[in-house]
Amino acid sequence: MANKKGFTLWLTGLSGAGKTTLARILASELNGRGVSVEVLDGDEVRTNLSRGLGFSKEDRDINIRRIGFVCRLLSRNGVGAVSAAISPYRAVRDEIRHAIEQDGAEFIEVFVKCPIEVLVARDVKGLYKLALAGEISEFTGVSDPYEEPLTPAVVVETDREPVESSVGKIIHVLEQRGLIPEVVITNRQVIPLSVFEDLRTPNVEFARR
């Protein structure tokens, strides 16, 4: 099934909050519903598209604008773009939102929320330990600011809820906005809601024969 309308899911939050995990699971779920989707992971973009950029505010803004530009291209061509990058500055996120919506696509901001103390305890990549020891400068949430979204479309709290619940919240918003097909689970099969309703509705032409 082709997308009726492209969109950008913008997952923003501190390092280690769970953005990449959510993005991968969301992509799998959306693909399963026949939705064309691409994931732009912050680490992968820095390796391939933003190689050579540092972590000054200027370089961070350039990096996020590049991600936003790719999301804009994808969204306006009917693809679901999923961005999983810290994107710490509110003004740049709002700038990208405006550009995407100007093209007639939808921008859904998702705040992947997790307290800094939980992230320090997790320290999945071992970066918080280095940042707190002063071995990494300009580290978001420790020595560099993170500006939380003021009115995100979705807030997921990865320290309090299972990943399935977080994914479900995001999927629900996409369904409500008519951006992806709804599904019905019956006999352990996932069927698009439109197809399910067709199966339940008598075929008048067939009945006449």
User: Mind telling me the catalytic residues?
Assistant: 87
- 52 φψ region: left (φ > 0), alpha (ψ -120 to 50), beta (else): left
Rounded to whole angstroms, the Cα distance separating 135 from 161 reads 32
Angle (CA) 98 105 3, round 5°: 160
Q: Where are the beta strands (DSSP E) in the chain?
A: 7-12, 37-41, 80-84, 106-113, 154-157, 183-186, 189-192
Give CA–CA dist 73/137, Å, rounded. 33
Among residues 120, 110, 122, 174, the alpha carbon closest in space to that of 148 is found at 110
Closest CA to 182 of 24, 30, 53: 30
